[in-house]
Structure formats: structure tokens, C-alpha cells
């Protein structure tokens, strides 16, 4: 059986069309962020990972059938050996017009080394995780990190012409006292800032019910100090955006816990082992490794079957944060 001669879009059982693929190239990371993983992690053996060529072939299938945005994630994706070869391969879809955007989410520690090459591959923007501007707090949150490397990576990305967006996990306590400084820091450098609610993914050794912060309550608190105006802006993801009048900058809010956004979900996630997850907040996944190694026809059939079974919504519940809703750590798929 040949591949679709007139490719039909990848549509789930609720009529949602998948146009966004998040592709994890590794589960490894050089940090151990407290909201993301345990302090002592066991990572996958390298033999279990798909080759970069296989990841590119699967990406080709998704792009051929309607995916217009592809984000490379991890773990920390820039840790994957020869990952720039994958970027160079995928960049041909930008040149052909088949792909609108090729992007990256990174913790920023290796960004200074790769920023120029990313720009040469057609990457126009990157998301960098940064939860505080305080070097000591950064070390505590990441357990291993040096904030100076991240700030250098941000500078290098901007110098290379990349648009940078900062991703920050909101939490109770010190973050609430620092969020204004993060807004000023990001907007003062022409960067968007997106705040993200902590999600109950994987066992980290900490009680998330003590740290989770509802962005609804945070927004109300910010509105006492900043003039916030809702803005119609679509980045292809789940964020809702506000314009901060005092800075002129954009503030994004991703609130899976307090404000469900599943009705408009247009994305799926592919792990570095070739498992397709159609919902971040659900355990269900489908293996694409074995079908791909048989044929692309078999892989496409597996993709279509999986997407048709995509759940209507995630399983997260703000009232049940003490225990993980999903055993998989955030580092497996990049959030």
C-alpha cells in the first residue's frame, strides 16, 4: 500500500487537527530541576534511542500530513550528540515551505555554543527555561546549574538574531517576590516571558501541593501592580497572552491546572525512543519504532490510529497535586 497520494490531515476523534509536533531527542539533562525530575535519575541507555535519521523520517511523515510547526525538546536537546545534523536535515522543510517553524526549547546551558548554527538552520526563535534571576536560587532549583551559562546563552542567541522567549515555572514563595524582576528583565531585552503552572509529572521527591501556584490568582496579584491587557496572539501553543502596558512587552500564561485548554489542542509528542504521546497529561502512548522499521506505510497507519484515540483532555487535577498524575517525568518529553 503506498503512502497517501493526497495526504489527509491528522485528525483526532474530536475533530482537532494535529499541526504541531514536539520531538524529544533525549531524556538526558545536565540539570535536575526540582519540578521536573528527581535528584538521582536513571536515564535511558543510548541503545534505546532512535537514531537521528529515524527521528527525521518520522518528522517527515508528520510534516507530509499537515504538521506545520516542529519543536525540538528533551531532556536538554543540545546534549544529544550531533543534534545539529537533525536541525540541518529538518531545515529543508522550511526552505520548501512545508514547515512554517522549526523551534527549540532549551535550558540554555549549551546555547552559546550552538546559537549561530541554529540561526543558519532557519531557527528563528528559541524558548529558554529560566525560573529566577538569583544565582543562589537558580542553583537550588536546578540542583546543578550555573546561571551565568544560561545568561550567556541568551545573549548569544539574541546576537545571532534569534528571538528568545523565557519560560518560567510559577511557584509559591520566593518566585512571587521575583516575578516583577523577571518581567522587567525579559521585556527590557525585547523577550516575551511565559509563566507556566507546575504539573504533576513524575516523582521528584517534593510535595507539589506545597509549591503549585494558580496563575489565575497570580494574574490577579500582578494586575494590582501592572496594567494587563488581553492580546490576540497565537504562537501555536497553549499560552494565553497579555500585554504589559508599563513595559510594552508580552506576558504568556500556560495554565493546565487552573484553566483547562484541551479543547483547542493541536499537538502531539514523540519521545526519543519512538513512542507517540497524544496527550502530555495521559499515560497512553503508541510505539512507532517497530512500524517505522517495517515501513513508512506501517508507521503512518500507527500514527493515524494513535491520533484518532487522542483523549479529550488531560488527567491533571489542581486538587490532587501531592502525587503524580502521570508517572513519566517532564524530562521525557520536554513538558
Q: Do the Cβ atoms of 108 and 130 come closer than 8 Å?
A: yes
Q: Is 265 annotated as a binding residue?
A: yes
Query: Where do we find the cell 524530562?
Result: 331
Q: Is 294 annotated as a binding residue?
A: no
Q: Is 121 annotated as a binding residue?
A: no
Tell me how many helices (H) and strands (E) the chain has.
Answer: 9, 12
Q: Is 236 annotated as a binding residue?
A: no
Q: Is 224 annotated as a binding residue?
A: no
Q: Is 40 annotated as a binding residue?
A: no
Pairing type for strands 163-170 and 125-129 reads: parallel
**Phi then psi for 155, rounded to 5 degrees?**
-60, -45
Q: Is 33 annotated as a binding residue?
A: yes
C-alpha cell, 150: 544560561
Q: Do the Cβ atoms of 99 and 236 come closer than 8 Å?
A: no
In angstroms, the CA 31 to CA 278 distance is 26
Whole-number Cα distances in Å, 78 to 23, 102, 109, 333? 13, 15, 9, 14
Q: Is 105 annotated as a binding residue?
A: yes
What three-state secondary structure class fits 149?
helix
Q: Other C-beta atoms within 10 Å of 242: how many?
A: 21
- Strands ordered across the beta sheet of 275-277: 228-231, 240-244, 250-254, 192-197, 163-170, 125-129, 101-106, 69-73, 20-24, 267-270, 275-277, 286-287
Q: Is 272 annotated as a binding residue?
A: no
Q: Is 262 annotated as a binding residue?
A: yes
283 DSSP 8-state letter:
-
Q: Is 184 annotated as a binding residue?
A: no
Please choose, from the candidates 189, 185, 238, 234, the residue with its C-alpha nearest in 3D space to the C-alpha of residue 215.
238
Please choose, from the candidates 152, 191, 143, 155, the residue with its C-alpha nearest in 3D space to the C-alpha of residue 331.
143
Binding residues for GTP: 22, 71, 105, 165, 267-269
Binding residues: 22, 29, 33, 35-36, 71, 75, 105, 129, 165, 199, 262, 265, 267-269, 279
Binding residues for [4Fe-4S] cluster: 29, 33, 36, 262, 265, 279
Binding residues for S-adenosyl-L-methionine: 35, 75, 129, 199
Amino acid at each position: 500500500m503506498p503512502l497517501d497520494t493526497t495526504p489527509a490531515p491528522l485528525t483526532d476523534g474530536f475533530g482537532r487537527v494535529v499541526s504541531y509536533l514536539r520531538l524529544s531527542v533525549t531524556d538526558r539533562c545536565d540539570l535536575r530541576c526540582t519540578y521536573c525530575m528527581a535528584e538521582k535519575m536513571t536515564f535511558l541507555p543510548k541503545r534505546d534511542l532512535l537514531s537521528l535519521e529515524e527521528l527525521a523520517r518520522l518528522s517527515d511523515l508528520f510534516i507530509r500530513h499537515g504538521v506545520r510547526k516542529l519543536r525540538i525538546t528533551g531532556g536538554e536537546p543540545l546534549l544529544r550528540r550531533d543534534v545539529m545534523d537533525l536541525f540541518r536535515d529538518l531545515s529543508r522543510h522550511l526552505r520548501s515551505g512545508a514547515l512554517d517553524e522549526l523551534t527549540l526549547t532549551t535550558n540554555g546551558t549549551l546555547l552559546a555554543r550552538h546559537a549561530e548554527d541554529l540561526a543558519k538552520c532557519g531557527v528563528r526563535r528559541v524558548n529558554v527555561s529560566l525560573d529566577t534571576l538569583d544565582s543562589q536560587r537558580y542553583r537550588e532549583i536546578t540542583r546543578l546549574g550555573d546561571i551565568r551559562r544560561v545568561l550567556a546563552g541568551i545573549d548569544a542567541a539574541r546576537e545571532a538574531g534569534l528571538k528568545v522567549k523565557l519560560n518560567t515555572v510559577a511557584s509559591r514563595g520566593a518566585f512571587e517576590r521575583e516575578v516583577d524582576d523577571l518581567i522587567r528583565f525579559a521585556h527590557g531585552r525585547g523577550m516575551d516571558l511565559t509563566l507556566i503552572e507546575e504539573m504533576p509529572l513524575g516523582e521528584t521527591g517534593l510535595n507539589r501541593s506545597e509549591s503549585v501556584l494558580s496563575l489565575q490568582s497570580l494574574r490577579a496579584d500582578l494586575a494590582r501592580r501592572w496594567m494587563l491587557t488581553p492580546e490576540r496572539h497565537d504562537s501555536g501553543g497553549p499560552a494565553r497572552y497579555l500585554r504589559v502596558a508599563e513595559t510594552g512587552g508580552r506576558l504568556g500564561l500556560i495554565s493546565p491546572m487552573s484553566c483547562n485548554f484541551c479543547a483547542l489542542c493541536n499537538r502531539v509528542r514523540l519521545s526519543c525512543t519512538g513512542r507517540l504521546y497524544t496527550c502530555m497529561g495521559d499515560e497512553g502512548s503508541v510505539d512507532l519504532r517497530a512500524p517505522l522499521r517495517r515501513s513508512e506505510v506501517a508507521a503512518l497507519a500507527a500514527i493515524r490510529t494513535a491520533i484518532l484515540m487522542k483523549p479529550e483532555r488531560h488527567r491533571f487535577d489542581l486538587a490532587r497535586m501531592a502525587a503524580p498524575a502521570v508517572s513519566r517525568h517532564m524530562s521525557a518529553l520536554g513538558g
